[in-house]
Copies of this chain bind each other. A is one copy, B any other.
Amino acid sequence: MLPEKSLAWGRSKSCIRDLAAYGSARKAEIGEDKVFDFSLGNPSVPAPPCVEEALRRALETDSVQLHGYTPAAGLPSLRRAVAEDLNGRWGLGFAPELIYVTCGAAAGLAACMHGLLLPGEEAVAFAPFFPEYRVFAEGAGGALVTVPPDEDLRPDLAALERALNERTKLVILNTPNNPSGVVLREADLEKLAAVLKQAEARFGHPIYLISDEPYRELVYGDKPAPCVPAFYDDTIICYSFSKSLSLPGERIGYLAVSPRMAGRQDVFDALAGAARACGYVNAPSLMQRVAEQCLGQTADISVYRTNRDLLYENLTALGFSCVYPEGAFYLFMRSPEPDAKAFSERAKKHELLLVPSDDFGVGGYVRIACCVSTEMICRSLPAFAELAKEYGL
């Protein structure tokens, strides 16, 4: 009598949240410092000072204005500021009218799925991928089609070509990637765009590229993450301030429809209509002010690089095999036995909480969150050494 999928989504906890809950219980049992919890992608560094300054400044302003409704698409000043920020990075002529302020990237992704997918149409995701993509796509009445990665865990374009068909409405790209840390470069994006343009021509309709960019600022090389819509006109950027400003609980981000997209106004309207039907009135008004004041700034994310280096060097030295993360704040490590869940269970015996990769759409890996204290990583290394020994590494 109740929608089966809603029931299932409400009942199932993600394995990440399950593991985190186990961690909380275990810490209460044997002590906080005895458990090495690498489960959650919750930023471990405080929000930058500009956030507190913006909050305090906002509190000096008129309460009725500050906490009042904003337009559904966001404060006009914030939409202008976002467009200017993007144009300052990349040019391209982003337009305030095509910026829609959202309750985080998840709300933006859900609006894309509900606003673009007709029943039976397909959203394509490159494995490994954020597990909620499936919930959003199926919640919108569409289907999620997954493309297995190449041997380096990077998007496999030949596999993408095979997955595209007349029902393909959109492709989700997540670079820097959760959970692999892979960052696509300009040459990768050129090749991806070529495949998509060819498919658009072959099937005679747009295929939207949803560029899910919550980790855009978390890149550890010399060069920033490239501008995805510079390579492919039918792109919608889905951004969140969760990771860059360490505000994941506050739910603030935006959608930016490329100013180069042919049907951009219709697409924007469909996203806005879908957000409305999902019950979004406006993104939290106080946090809209904070985002406007803090655009272009980040929390002190240097610790994530320190942690990545520390984990990568030590774990590979122990004989584990890891994808070298160029961005985001996770280390994706190959399980020494084929069953990642069994490996995760074995790691638990050493109080190491590592997320098995199955829910990300690939088997045989674990995700290790680098957004933890450096000190905990140091303390955890003997446990990793014991674990390696157990597998004869």
Contact = CB atoms under 8 A, between A and B. Distances in A.
Interface residues on A, range: 35 or more
A279 interface: yes
Contacts of A7: 266, 269-270, 273
Contacts of A268: 10
Contact of A44 (B64, B69, B279): B64
A99 to B, nearest CB: 14
B63 A108 contact: no
Contacts of A248: 67-69, 281
B250 A284 contact: yes
B135 A205 contact: no
B269 A103 contact: no
A279 B10 contact: no
A46 B63 contact: yes
Contact of A249 (B45, B68, B279): B68
B277 A63 contact: no
- Kindly name the residue among A43, A266, A269 whose own CB sees the greatest number of chain B CB atoms within 10 A: A269
A1 interface: yes
Contact of A269 (B11, B40, B114): B11
Nearest to A67: B247
A206 interface: yes
A274 interface: yes
A302 interface: no
A107 interface: yes
A277 B5 contact: yes
A137 to B, nearest CB: 9
Interface stretch (A52-60, A310-318, A329-337, A345-353): A52-60
A22 interface: no
A276 B103 contact: no
Interface string A273-293: 110111111111111000000
Contacts of A139: 114, 274, 276-278
A267 interface: yes
A135 B266 contact: no
Interface in A293-349: none
A110 interface: yes
27 contacts: A1-B118, A2-B267, A3-B116, A3-B118, A3-B274, A6-B269, A6-B271, A6-B273, A8-B273, A9-B276, A10-B269, A10-B274, A42-B64, A42-B69, A43-B68, A45-B64, A56-B59, A63-B246, A69-B248, A69-B249, A106-B280, A132-B276, A139-B277, A139-B278, A249-B285, A278-B278, A284-B284
Interface of A: 1-3, 5-11, 40, 42-47, 51-52, 55-56, 59, 62-64, 66-70, 103-104, 106-111, 114-118, 132, 135-136, 138-141, 205-206, 246-251, 263, 266-274, 276-287
